[in-house]
Amino acid sequence: MLSSIFLCLAVLSFVIYRRRMSQRNVVSKVRGPPSNTWYGPALEFMQGEVGEADFPWLDEYGAVVRLSAPLVPGGDILLISDPKALRHMHQTAFNEFGANALRHAIVNLMTGPGIATAQGLDHVRQHQVIQPGFGVSEIRAHIPHFFEYAGKLSDRWSEILGASNGSAVIDVTEWNSKLTLDLVGRALFDYQFGALDGKEDDLIHACENAENVIVESMGTMVKGGVIFMALSKYISPTIYNFVLDHSWDPKITRIRHARDLCRSFAERIVAEKKAAILDGRQDKDIMSLIVRANSSNKDVKNRMNDEELLAQVRTFLFAGNSTVTHTMHWILMELARNPEFQQRLKEEIRAKNVKDWKATDLDSLPFMNAFLKETLRMHPVTFMVTQEPKADTVLPLSQPLTLSTGEVITELPIPKGQNILSSLSGYNRLKELWGQDAHVFNPDRWLGDSLKGKSTGFGMYSNLASFLGGPKGCIGWKFALVLLQVYIVRVASQFRFSMTEDSKKIKRQSSVFMMPKMDGSPERGITLPLSVELDDE
């Protein structure tokens, strides 16, 4: 009897082993660029500008590309932009996938156990509590605040231009960061940062400088970083967290300092919101709504604990603030690159002739919204997401995939722990979805019939991957959209932007987010110097 049991276990183990090896064999047959170094093409992908390496690979090999890792057995990375595969990983079967341990640890360093890093059922629970704060009516109530602070930005720029005979070169990144920080403070926390007013504060400096430190530390993946990513399935996340929490590296130390300041701020904000509830106040800022929803949840198991509440504040300060800020940079970049589109925007906004803008007014500007969608398509700030299947699984594919053997498959078996990069920027450039001019900035694609009937069922907004999709999609995407609509209306109607010699050198830096950085001038950090003129008629 005992021998029969051992025999059955041996047979079962052999079957599982063969299946795992079969899946790995299929992955090894996925086509991809050759390995010219011991570190494989992943080094080229991670060191270069966003899209510099992977967009040509997308055209040559298809929507699934294998990046070999010769130094690490089984460490190959799959770069995936196939719509059906993305929908499966992030929507249909999102619980079956987790984040890559290294990248998860990097984000967790700044945000803690919040919505950006929570996995599985913890993410679902947090999402349910936070969602009421980002309802449509709750967001629209902040439109006057959006215009108020966008007006402050316009006033600061007007003062600079007034002292320079109406035109000047302005590094818009610094000012966009101040604007977003003030807006996040007001709408999410009912807090006045005063960044646009020139207020000096350690937290302001920490928030403004944290990303530059991350660019210096992690934006361009060094050779060791490629190896660690390939090895991540063999290394416990606890080890990565320990290294980041105790590293003596001065750059990591600066990030931890920013994290600690953000945590202290979060403790004050959460304490204030809890006290307001006890006092019977009905404050309307988004964090108040979240804390109130959390406290009123009858099932204690579904509530967020204090650490998770603190992490939400840190997430909004870092991740939410950053994604909106960098999208503003790319909006201005495309305005400067395309004077004809800039003029059409001005004419459309001015023809509206509205003083007190409402959401319906913002939505009734077809070219402005087309311009915003095209910016989100061309420049998704969150350009990739790391994934690892928790068990052996099979990815469905939208298009047949030709393997190196010539075999054509319509679904891809992948083993547990397989390193996957969901290429959101690649999806946003698929020619079968967006047309043969997918790499061209063309807002008019959104105004005709060329995109009709091409829905993939993926994405939070307009078939775009820019806010991801499914349960792990950006919870604040509606907030971001309205804020960006207000930003375009306010700055495009009052100023004219054009390129400078320095801005022509701007590259799309690969980091935690996609950021503008000047080629050959790493010491300048995040930067976008544009020529700005008063143009308010």
Q: Express each pLDDT in 396-433 by its tens digit.
A: 999 999 999 999 999 999 999 898 999 999 999 999 99
- 388 forms beta bridges with 98
Cβ-contact 404, 29 below 8 angstroms: yes
Task: Give per-residue burial for 403-416: e unless 16+ CB within 10 Å, then b.
Answer: beeeeeeeebbbbe
Q: How many CA atoms lie within 13 A of 193 on its CB side?
A: 26
Residues in the chain: 537
The secondary structure of 96-111, three-state, reads: HEECCHHHHHHHHHHH
Percent of the chain with pLDDT over 70: 88
Reported pTM: 0.91
Distance (Å) of CA 262 to CA 219, 223, 265, 453:
21, 31, 5, 45
Decide the pairing of beta strands 77-80 and 419-423.
Answer: parallel
Residue 73, φ and ψ in degrees, nearest 5: -55, 130
Tell me the average pLDDT across 53-82: 87
The residue to which tokens 């416990």 are assigned: 236
- 533 forms beta bridges with 167, 496
- 396 forms beta bridges with 411
- 402 forms beta bridges with 408
221 confidence band (pLDDT: 50, 70, 90): very low
Residue 40 has pLDDT above 50, yes or no: yes
CA 167 to chain centre: 33
2 confidence band (pLDDT: 50, 70, 90): very low
**For the chain, counts of helices (H) and of strands (E):** 22, 12
Number of CB atoms found within 10 A of residue 135's CB: 13
| pLDDT for res 19 | 45
> Helix crossing, 366-378 with 321-337: angle to 10°?
110
- 510 forms beta bridges with 514
Token reading at 376: 């989100």
Residue 124 has pLDDT above 60, yes or no: yes
DSSP state at residue 92: I
Beta carbons within 8 Å of 443's beta carbon, 6+ residues apart: 341, 367, 370, 371, 373, 374
217 confidence band (pLDDT: 50, 70, 90): low
Among the residue ranges 7-11, 418-422, 478-482, the one predicted with the least confidence is 7-11
Token reading at 339: 């004077």
| pLDDT for res 39 | 67
DSSP state at residue 86: H
The sheet with strand 495-498 has its strands ordered as 167-171, 529-534, 495-498
